[in-house]
C-alpha cells in the first residue's frame, strides 16, 4: 500500500510542535498538581485535618461538569486574528500560574476553618482558569493538522512533555523546602513555609 504524501500546508513545523508540546506539562500539572502539593502544604505543614482537606479538594472538581462544556462552546464560537484557541490558552495559562501560587500563600495566623474556605475558593478560581487554558489547548492539538500521521507526531510531543511533568512535579515540595530553609529561614516567621512554597511555585 502506497504511503500518502504529507502536504506542505498540513505539516506542523518543529518549533510549533515544541511550543504546543510544552503545554502538555502545564496541562498535566494543572490537573494533578494541587492534589500532590496539598497533602504536604495543608496537612503536614499547616496541620489541618486530612479529612477536611480531602473534602476541600473534592468540591471544586464538581464545577468541571459545567465549566468545561461552557468553555468548549465559547472557544468553538470565538473569532480573532489569532484564531479561536490561542487567546484563551495564553490568558488561561498566565492566570492559572498566578492562582496556583496563591493557593499556597494562605496566612498562617488564620483559623483552620478560614484556611479551608480560602483553599476551596482559590481552587475554584484555579480550576476555572485551568478550563480556560486546557479545553482550547486540547482542541488545538487535534486541529493543528488534518493529516493523521502528522497529528500523531504532534501528540507525541505533547505526551513527552506530559511525562516529563509527571517526573518533575514530585520534586517541587522538596525543592521549595531546600530553598526556603537555605535562603529564607532566618527572615520568615514560624509557619511561613507554605507561603514560601507558593512564591517558589510561581517562579517554577
Q: Which of 137, 127, 99 is nearest to 23 (CA)?
A: 137
pLDDT at 175: 66
179 inside domain: yes
Separation CA 185–CA 196 (nearest Å): 10
Average pLDDT over residues 59-81: 87
Residue 4 CB neighbours (<10 A): 9
Number of domains, the chain: 1
5 inside domain: no
pLDDT at 123: 93
**CATH number for the domain including 81?**
1.20.1250.20
8 inside domain: no
Dihedrals phi, psi of 195, to nearest 5 degrees: -60, -40
Per-residue pLDDT of 27-67, as tens digits, reads: 887 777 788 788 778 888 788 999 999 999 998 888 878 88
Q: Between 130 and 192, whose confidence is greater?
A: 130
2 inside domain: no
113 inside domain: yes
Question: Residue 154: which domain range?
Answer: 13-203
84 inside domain: yes
pLDDT greater than 70 at residue 136: yes
Strand (E) or helix (H) holding 84 = none
115 inside domain: yes
pLDDT more than 90, % of the chain: 19
Burial 24-54 (b: 16+ CB within 10 A, else e): bbbbbbbeebbeebbebbbbebbebeeebbe
6 inside domain: no
Quickly state the pLDDT bin for 157 (edges 50, 70, 90): confident
Amino acid at each position: 500500500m502506497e504511503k500518502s504524501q504529507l502536504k506542505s500546508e498540513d505539516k506542523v513545523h518543529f518549533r510549533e510542535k515544541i511550543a504546543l508540546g510544552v503545554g502538555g506539562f502545564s496541562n498535566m500539572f494543572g490537573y494533578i498538581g494541587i492534589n500532590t502539593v496539598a497533602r504536604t502544604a495543608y496537612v503536614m505543614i499547616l496541620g489541618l485535618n486530612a479529612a477536611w482537606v480531602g473534602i476541600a479538594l473534592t468540591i471544586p472538581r464538581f464545577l468541571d461538569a459545567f465549566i468545561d462544556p461552557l468553555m468548549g462552546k465559547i472557544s468553538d464560537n470565538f473569532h480573532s486574528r489569532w484564531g479561536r484557541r490561542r487567546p484563551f490558552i495564553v490568558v488561561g495559562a498566565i492566570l492559572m500560574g498566578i492562582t496556583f501560587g496563591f493557593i499556597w500563600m494562605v496566612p498562617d495566623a488564620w483559623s483552620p476553618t478560614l484556611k479551608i474556605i480560602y483553599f476551596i475558593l482559590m481552587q475554584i478560581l484555579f480550576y476555572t482558569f485551568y478550563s480556560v487554558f486546557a479545553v482550547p489547548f486540547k482542541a488545538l492539538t487535534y486541529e493543528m493538522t488534518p493529516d493523521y500521521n502528522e497529528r500523531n507526531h504532534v501528540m507525541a510531543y505533547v505526551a513527552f512533555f506530559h511525562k516529563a511533568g509527571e517526573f518533575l512535579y514530585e520534586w517541587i515540595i522538596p525543592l521549595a523546602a531546600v530553598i526556603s530553609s537555605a535562603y529564607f529561614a532566618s527572615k520568615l516567621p514560624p509557619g511561613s513555609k507554605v507561603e514560601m512554597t507558593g512564591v517558589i511555585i510561581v517562579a517554577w
